[in-house]
Structures are given as C-alpha cells and as structure tokens.
Amino acid sequence: MDGVKPRQRHSRRLDAGKSLLPKAEAPLFMPAQDLAHWAPGKAISGWNTARDVVLARLFVFSATLILTALGTHEIYQVISVGSTSWLQFVFAGLFAVTFAWIAFSCASSILGFWRMMTGKRTTPPVPTSGPMGRTALLMPIYNEDPARVYDTLERMAHELVEQGAGKCFDIFVLSDTRDAAAGKREEVFAQQMLRFFAGQIHFYYRRRRENHHRKAGNIADFVERFGGAYDQMIILDADSYMASDVMIGLARMMQADPTAGIIQTLPLLMNRVTLFARLQQFASRVYGPVITHGLTAWHGRDGNYWGHNAIIRVKAFAQAAGLPELEGRKPFGGHILSHDFIEAALMRRAGWGVYMLPDLVGSYEECPPSLIDLAGRDRRWCQGNLQHMKIVGAKGLHWVSRVHLIQGIMSYLASPLWLIFMLTGLGLSAQAQYIRPEYFPDGFGLFPKWPVFDPERALQLFGLTMIVLFLPKILGVVAAMRDPLIRRGCGGARGLVKSLLAEILVSSLLSPVMMMIQSRFVVFVLLGRDSGWASQNRGDDALPLDDVAKRHWNHMIEGFMLGSVALVVSWQTFLWLLPIAAGLMLAIPVSWGSGQAIAGLWARRNKLFLIPEETVAVPVDGPRPHSAQELTDLAEPAP
C-alpha cells in the first residue's frame, strides 16, 4: 500500500506467551482524533445524498412527529377534561418522550416493509467478480473457549480456500486473555490451525501483554503494527460466523467503492438452544430484516457500525478513527467503551461512506442464553452508550451520526423514563382517589370543576399505543410469509403466527424485569460505578434456580409492592399496572425457565421460534471438516 514500508520489529515485549506473527510488520500511524476541533477541509471529497435517502428521512421523521403529536394530543385530552395539574403535565411530557421512542422505530419499520415489498434498494449490488485486494480477518477474543473459536475459524478458512480466495485473506486471532494457562491452550490450537492450512491460507495469533483499551485497543494494536499490509479488514466477534461468499463479496465491494469506509452486514442470531435464545433468534430472523431495511433506507451512506461482522478500509480507519481518552474519571471519562458508534461517526466526519447491506445472507452471531447473561452484557453497554453524552456534541460530526449516538443513549434512558412515567401515573391515580379536589378553585362559581377524565379517549390511546408497539413485529411476520424459504423454515404460516403470539407473551413478561435492570444500570453509571470487563457466557448451561432467585428476588418484591399499591388505589389502576406487576412478580420462574435448554427443545418440537437455519437447507451451510471435539482431540493428544 502507498507510503507504507514493512519493517522488521521484535515485538515480544508487547506480546505475552508464544505469538505466531508475520515476519515483517507493516505499521500505520493511527493518531487519536480531536473531538473539540475539526476543519471541514480535512475530509475527503464529499458526495450528494441520494434523493431516495432524503425522501426516506423525510418520511421517517415526519411520521414520527405526526404519531407523537397524535399520541400526546390524545393523552392531554384524556387528562385535561377538568383542570390540569403540574403532575398531569409531567405525565403527558413523559408520555411524549417515551411514545416518540417507539414511534420512531415503527416509522422506520413501515419504511423497511415498503422497501422490501417493492424491491427498492438504496445500496449498490454486491459484485460477483473483480479484484478483492488484501483482507485481514480479525477475531479479537477475551477469555473464550478456544475450541469454539477455532472451530468457527476453521470452517471459514476452509470455505475461503475452497473458493480459491485463500491467498487474498489472512486470519488473525487477537487475544486479550488474561489467564496464562488459557493463553497456552490458545497457542496449541493456533499451532494446529497453522498446520491444517499450511500453504493454503495464512494464519496468525498473538496475545497482548497489556489489554490497553480493551477490544478497541486490541484492533488498534493490529492496525498500528500490521495494518499497512492490508487494504481492508473484516472484524469478527468471538461468536461470529460469516460465509465465504459474504466475505469475498464485501472485499470486492470495498475495492469497487473507493469512498466506502465501513460496510456493515446484518448479523442474524443462531446456534443457541435455550428458550430465551430461541426467542431472540426468531425476532432477529423475522423482525430484523424489516427494521434493518428501514434503517438502511434513511441512513444511506451516513450509517452506523455495530462493532463486528463488517468490513473496514484499513488506511482510512487509521487516519480517521483513532479514539481519544475522554477527560474526567470513569465511568464517563477514560477510554471509550462503545467504540463502534464513535468509529463510524469519525469515519463519516472524514468523508468516508458508512452503509449497510441488509440483503447479504450468511452473516451470523450468537446471543446470550438467558436474561441474566443478557443483563451482564447490557451493564457494560449501558455505560458505553451513556458515555456518548460527552461525545454527541463533538465538532464536525454529521447530523445523522449524532442521531445514532442519541438513539444509543435513549436505548438505556428509555427504561428509567418508562419507570418514572408509570410511577407518575400511579401518583395521579392516588391523587384522584384520596386527595379532596377543589371544586371551586377560583372562588364562587355556578358550576363546579369535577375531577374527571375521558375513558373513551383513554381506550383509543391504548389502541394507538398497541398498534405503534406491535406493528413492526406484525410487518416482519407478513414479510416472512411472503418469502417461501423463511416461511417454510419458521414452521409455515401457522408456525409464524404461533411464534409471534408466544414471543409477544414472553417478551411482555420479561420487559418489566429488563426495565428495572436497565434503570438500575443507569443509576449506577450516574453514581460513578464502573462496569468492568467480564467475559460472556457462550454456552447453553442454565444457572441454578437459587442463583436466579438471588438475581431476581428484588424484582419479585417490587412487583408485589407495585400490585398491592395499585390495588389499594383502585381496581382500574391495578388493571392498568397488572402487566408490569405480573412480569416482576414472575421474574424468578420466567427468567429461570426461559434460560433452560429443555424449554427451548420443547419449543422446537412444537414449532415455536423456528428459524430457517435450523430447519431447511440455506445457501450458507458449508462443510465442516473438523468439529470442536475433533479440534480438541488434535490439540490435546493422548499421552
């Protein structure tokens, strides 16, 4: 690549254990970016936003505004039949903010559904021929099971070799594992991979001595040491899998599009067994495409990056996306945790295109097997997204990039806002029930001001809210029914409808628990508690019931308290809050049961939450020459 000269460098001081690295490093300078200053002339030549993208943005934001205005007007009419108190204004304001959050998602899904039904696309087709350049396939890992990691990498490497692309791709396992014994085991697997593919595809491994800046620092270390030898890099997570057709297509597309900086795929969820995981897999497979097509339509080339299953132009990344240290103490200061959104925003600031290809089939990842595992991951994500409050005002960012950051922040602030909204409604009900109203607040009058509300409008508002909340899911099912492969793979039309209803039921029980968990996380972040960095559970092993009870006993008590207070206020208030109280009261059995593999297998037998990847042959199913157990046997030969 231009301006880059490979050089010999002894880097053992940077690495722990035995590394398997290229003989010569090809360093790239990756400066930390200045968030307080930006000169527009530093960006590469810009482009005009496509007319379809402008119209898509106009639709999404206008529809969100109209729906929010309609919902806010209705809630005001419900509560303002008589006199209106400050608490009612707070209630209406909270409703407007939280309703806008779900209205935005609904509007985007409507757009995505229309795009899918009409076949309109905003991204260029993936080339089936042409140069691929040099691509580094990066797998950052942290305290992972090496058998699982190398099983996936071996499958991907085998597919690339069979496609004749082995010479265009190099595989790097970038380890941040802290345990020396686990690191030794990784080295043994790396040696086996090296022997499997000798002369077919290059394989490299290194473990950092210091895991500076976590995953973002891990990738930056690669760029600064070896990035100059590659045109682009594909970033994976430890649970990612990408078919060879997808990787080759991404490489060709990056070569054909000189202003593309990041091209993101839609990673679908698969390969887990528990009921909780199967529910997420179904939602990802059926609802995900509608949502993602909508995002792609209005994002255009000002899109976002999800941190994995994407291809990145290496030199542009080095020049534009070096992450600075944030001023102040943790959790808001220090290194940037949720680095992907910021890297996309910085790349876009420098003029590089960031966009998504939602039609590429063959990009996958795994999901947490239980609600508790999801919450453990969410704690770190919550801190990282709230940290973006210090970055959203950075100089030079595109306004769409700022919207992405605000969406990430709101994805966690929405939970405490919903909680406050619910408690404000409870307070209003108690006020109406127990506080004697002032019938003549302005002195003597012929007609008193009765404390009343409009029940007919309240019912209409409830219907509107349910439509906005559930329409994206219904549209996803309709789109899936129109695709024979997906319809058949999800158990037919009947299986899709059954799964939709079951998913709504289970999600309704889990959502109040997640609301309380995320609300607590937000409070912890605001109090200055750092999330730390824990490894994720990649298996289907269920937590014991007593461990689940320790995590959820407080939610059960909160549910009983909420239900009891609501019942004391009135039957109407109790029925209004019953879905929330029931989800909290049932937190222990629902969380424990949904995390069981046996429950997931029962659901599969009854054609619930099926996805095509487990029921019908899909184009991405390639050969697997060695299983995880076979790799383990090879890595640990009998004495």
pLDDT digits (tens, 9 = 90+) for 245-256: 999 999 999 999
Confidence of residue 11 (pLDDT cuts 50, 70, 90): low
Higher-confidence residue of 223 and 634: namely 223
Per residue in 49-94, pLDDT (tens digit) is 899 999 999 999 999 999 999 999 888 887 765 556 778 888 889 9
Per residue in 359-414, pLDDT (tens digit) is 888 999 999 999 999 998 899 899 999 999 999 999 999 999 999 999 999 999 99
Higher-confidence residue of 277 and 542: namely 277
**Residues of 572-584 as b/e, b for ≥16 C-beta within 10 angstroms?**
ebbebbeebbbbb
Residue 515 and residue 415: Cα distance in Å, rounded? 5
Kindly state the average pLDDT of the residues 549-574.
Answer: 93
Per residue in 291-336, pLDDT (tens digit) is 999 999 999 999 999 999 999 999 999 999 999 999 988 888 889 9
pLDDT attached to residue 4: 47
Global pTM reads: 0.90
pLDDT attached to residue 631: 39
* Cβ partners under 8 Å of residue 535, min gap 6: 142, 143, 144
Confidence of residue 619 (pLDDT cuts 50, 70, 90): low
The answer for 282, left when phi > 0, alpha when psi is -120 to 50, beta otherwise, is alpha
The pair phi, psi for residue 36, each rounded to 5°, is: -90, -15
pLDDT attached to residue 628: 43
pLDDT attached to residue 639: 39
User: What torsion, rounded to 10 degrees, do the Cα atoms 498, 501, 503, 507 define?
Assistant: -160
Indicate the average pLDDT of the chain: 88
Confidence of residue 440 (pLDDT cuts 50, 70, 90): very low
pLDDT attached to residue 623: 35
The pLDDT of residue 195 is above 60? yes
- Rounded-to-5 percentages of helix, strand, coil across the chain: 60, 10, 35
Residue 596 and residue 386: Cα distance in Å, rounded? 32
The pLDDT of residue 636 is above 70? no
Higher-confidence residue of 431 and 213: namely 213
Confidence of residue 638 (pLDDT cuts 50, 70, 90): very low
pLDDT attached to residue 89: 84
Q: Identify which of 474, 467, 58, 418 has the alpha carbon closest to the alpha carbon of residue 291.
A: 474
pLDDT attached to residue 625: 39
pLDDT attached to residue 375: 93
Confidence of residue 629 (pLDDT cuts 50, 70, 90): very low
Per residue in 468-506, pLDDT (tens digit) is 999 999 999 999 999 999 999 999 999 999 999 999 999
pLDDT > 70: what percent of the chain?
88
Where do the domains of the chain lie, and which CATH numbers do they carry? 1-11+27-122+133-437+454-542+595-619 (3.90.550.10)
Kindly state the average pLDDT of the residues 340-364.
Answer: 95
pLDDT attached to residue 41: 76
Amino acid at residue number 593: G
The angle at the Cα of 605, spanning 602 to 609, to the nearest 5 degrees, equals 80
The pLDDT of residue 447 is above 50? no
Helix (H, G, I), strand (E, B) or coil at 179: coil
